[in-house]
């Protein structure tokens, strides 16, 4: 029996080469049980004509499928589904009945209902994407990343690709971070004091679990990164949000009884405030008084194109009470899911045991590729290129903001990749964001960053890491136009930049 050529269709939107698509189509037909052992495939000439592809494409796909034992070639007579082809399942899935489980009772701990807004997956379709924290294809050194990945896929690195590391990490990556990355933040650490994590968020999560329980109290900044608040809510500790000012977290406002302080001194998230040196010392002094630990989220220090970043809080720490969290999400790309934490050995030992139990280790291949990209110097080159581009974008944004009379509530003195904006009194920035979407503009409403029931609604964040310089002016013009049409907004811009009320 022959398989009719009409059963083959190419999906014009499918990814991959034509050869891969043909190969995949046939493999799927066999695996799903549509094509059976011994059945003859259309000749390469017929299938090529039917699909409108070249004959060599079909021939190469057939050859590959023969090598994989899906097809067998029988001399001049053609290609057949092989006797050794994978057998589709003999039992068909039974139709699902309605659950009898009462999930309201069965779920012991709820994790939904957090404040983290769901960002759109289709942000690339926005013409003016003021989105924060995604990679820009024009700034990322894709070619060299690919080279490093290829090298990490080589025979020499077979073990680092495939091995179960248990609780260990790639020693090359750890060494690079210890010798080159941390010294730039004024931090000296031995490998036993470093743990690689699935991004900075995973590091913050692990720190919360090791350092907190129901009886302990954590201080977070208000406003702060929403996922930070969610993960502490899940940890079930007592939680005190402390309002930040133009210099970041005020140490005096940290209440007695605090056990752990979560802070973003270099670029406060989301206001971008930079904590001055005297306040850093005061914060450490306050932590010492309370015998509290400090978790420092230094998520964006590489984006310092205006001035050299000040040394990390951790570099001033003489007690071992600061746990430092770094990330490659902003400087490389967030889909990498690589970050790291630095702390005293007794802490890292517990963090490592927790990580091993919950997920073992970040994939070896991602760690090794990053280690190569860093150690070959591509990383530093990219940071400089990104810094130059972000500087341009920042200038364009500031010029347009001035031109249209909008108000900046916070801008990192070292650089960064976003501005914290303040709309006129009475503006609901969530409503503003919705209206702007129809106009091709993506902005992030500010309310989800704030704690408590009375959230200031008029702030919003403008990320400039994924929008071309040439579109920034028009994007901001559209925001200004939308603000003029905003229901309930007054015309008077708010006077005080850092006062959140």
Residues in 220-279 that interact with its own copies by CB under 8 A: 227, 230-231, 234, 259
Contacts of 396 (CB under 8 A, 6+ apart): 469, 472, 473
Of 295-324, binders to its own copies (CB under 8 A) are 308, 311, 315, 318-321
Interacting residue with its own copies among 49, 73, 282, 376 (CB under 8 A): 376
CB of 173: closest distance to its own copies in angstroms? 13
* Run of H or E including 402: helix 378-404
Identify whether the C-beta of residue 325 lies closer than 8 Å to the C-beta of residue 339.
yes
Part in contact with its own copies (CB under 8 A); list of ranges 103-111, 394-402, 420-428, 491-499: 103-111
CB of 157: closest distance to its own copies in angstroms? 7
By CB under 8 A, residue 281 contacts its own copies = no
Phi-psi label, residue 81: left if phi above 0, alpha if psi -120 to 50, beta otherwise: beta
Identify whether the C-beta of residue 460 lies closer than 8 Å to the C-beta of residue 423.
yes
By CB under 8 A, residue 437 contacts its own copies = no
Nearest-angstrom CA–CA distance, 234 and 110? 8
Interacting residue with its own copies among 43, 57, 202, 258 (CB under 8 A): 202
Interacting residue with its own copies among 5, 36, 46, 186 (CB under 8 A): 186
Interacting residue with its own copies among 108, 278, 454, 492 (CB under 8 A): 108
By CB under 8 A, residue 328 contacts its own copies = no
Residue (387 or 456) nearer to its own copies, CB:
387
CB of 269: closest distance to its own copies in angstroms? 15
Of 112-151, binders to its own copies (CB under 8 A) are 112-114, 116, 118-119, 121, 124, 133-135, 137, 140, 142, 145-146, 149-151
CB of 20: closest distance to its own copies in angstroms? 6
Nearest-angstrom CA–CA distance, 433 and 50? 48
By CB under 8 A, residue 69 contacts its own copies = yes
Interacting residue with its own copies among 129, 199, 415, 463 (CB under 8 A): 199
Part in contact with its own copies (CB under 8 A); list of ranges 67-75, 238-246, 412-420, 428-436: 67-75
Angle in degrees, CA 76, 79, 81, rounded to 5 = 150
Residue 265: CB atoms within 10 Å: 27
By CB under 8 A, residue 407 contacts its own copies = no
Helix (H, G, I), strand (E, B) or coil at 313: helix
Number of Cα atoms under 13 Å in the Cβ half of residue 180: 14
Q: Tokens in use for 81?
A: 């589904």
Of 72-101, binders to its own copies (CB under 8 A) are 84, 86, 88-101
Cα-based torsion angle of the residue sequence 420, 423, 427, 428 in order, rounded to the nearest 10 degrees: -20
By CB under 8 A, residue 361 contacts its own copies = yes
Examine residue 344 and say whether the peptide bond preceding it is cis (omega within 30 degrees of 0). no
Part in contact with its own copies (CB under 8 A); list of ranges 11-19, 247-255, 449-457, 489-497: 11-19
Nearest-angstrom CA–CA distance, 68 and 109? 46
For tokens 């900075």, the residue is 200
DSSP 315: G
By CB under 8 A, residue 34 contacts its own copies = no
């Amino acid at each position: 029996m022959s398989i009719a050529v009409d059963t083959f269709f190419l999906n014009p939107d499918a990814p991959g080469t034509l050869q891969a698509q043909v190969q995949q189509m046939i493999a799927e037909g066999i695996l799903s049980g549509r094509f059976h052992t011994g059945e003859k495939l259309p000749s390469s000439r017929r299938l090529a004509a039917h699909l409108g592809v070249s004959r060599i494409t079909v021939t190469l796909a057939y050859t590959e499928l023969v090598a994989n034992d899906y097809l067998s070639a029988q001399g001049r007579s053609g290609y057949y589904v092989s006797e050794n082809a994978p057998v589709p399942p003999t039992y068909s899935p039974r139709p699902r009945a309605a659950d009898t489980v009462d999930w309201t009772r069965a779920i012991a701990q709820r994790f939904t209902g957090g404040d983290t807004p769901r960002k759109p997956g289709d942000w690339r379709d926005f013409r003016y994407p003021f989105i924060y924290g995604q990679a820009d294809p024009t700034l990322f050194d894709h070619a060299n990343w690919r080279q490093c990945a290829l090298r990490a896929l080589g025979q020499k690195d077979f073990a680092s690709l495939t091995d179960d590391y248990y609780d260990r990490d790639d020693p090359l990556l750890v060494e690079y971070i210890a010798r080159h990355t941390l010294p730039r933040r004024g931090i000296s650490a031995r490998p036993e004091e470093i743990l690689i994590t699935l991004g900075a968020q995973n590091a913050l999560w692990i720190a919360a679990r090791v350092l907190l329980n129901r009886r302990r109290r954590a201080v977070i900044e208000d406003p702060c990164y929403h996922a930070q608040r969610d993960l502490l809510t899940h940890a079930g500790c007592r939680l005190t949000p402390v309002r930040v000012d133009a210099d970041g977290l005020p140490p005096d406002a940290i209440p007695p009884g605090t056990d752990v302080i979560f802070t973003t001194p270099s670029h406060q998230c989301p206001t971008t405030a930079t904590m001055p040196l005297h306040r850093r010392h005061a914060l450490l002094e306050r932590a010492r008084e309370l015998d509290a630990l400090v978790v420092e989220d230094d998520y964006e220090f590489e984006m310092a194109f205006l001035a050299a970043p000040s040394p990390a809080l951790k570099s001033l720490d003489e007690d071992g009470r600061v746990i430092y969290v770094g990330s490659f999400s902003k400087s490389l790309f967030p889909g990498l899911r690589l970050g790291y934490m630095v702390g005293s050995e007794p802490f890292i030992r517990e963090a490592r045991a927790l990580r091993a139990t919950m997920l073992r280790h970040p994939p070896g291949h991602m760690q090794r590729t990053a280690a190569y990209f860093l150690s070959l110097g591509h990383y530093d080159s990219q940071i400089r290129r990104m810094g130059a581009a972000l500087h341009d974008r920042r200038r364009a944004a500031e010029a347009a903001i001035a031109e249209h009379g909008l108000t900046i509530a916070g801008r990192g003195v070292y650089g960064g990749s976003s501005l914290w904006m303040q709309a006129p009194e009475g503006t609901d920035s969530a409503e503003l964001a919705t209206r702007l979407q129809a106009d091709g503009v993506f902005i992030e409403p500010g309310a989800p960053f704030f704690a408590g029931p009375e959230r200031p609604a008029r702030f919003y964040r403008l990320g400039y890491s994924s929008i071309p310089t040439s579109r920034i002016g028009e994007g901001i013009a559209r925001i200004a136009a939308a603000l003029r049409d905003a229901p309930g907004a007054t015309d008077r811009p708010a006077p005080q930049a850092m006062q959140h009320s």
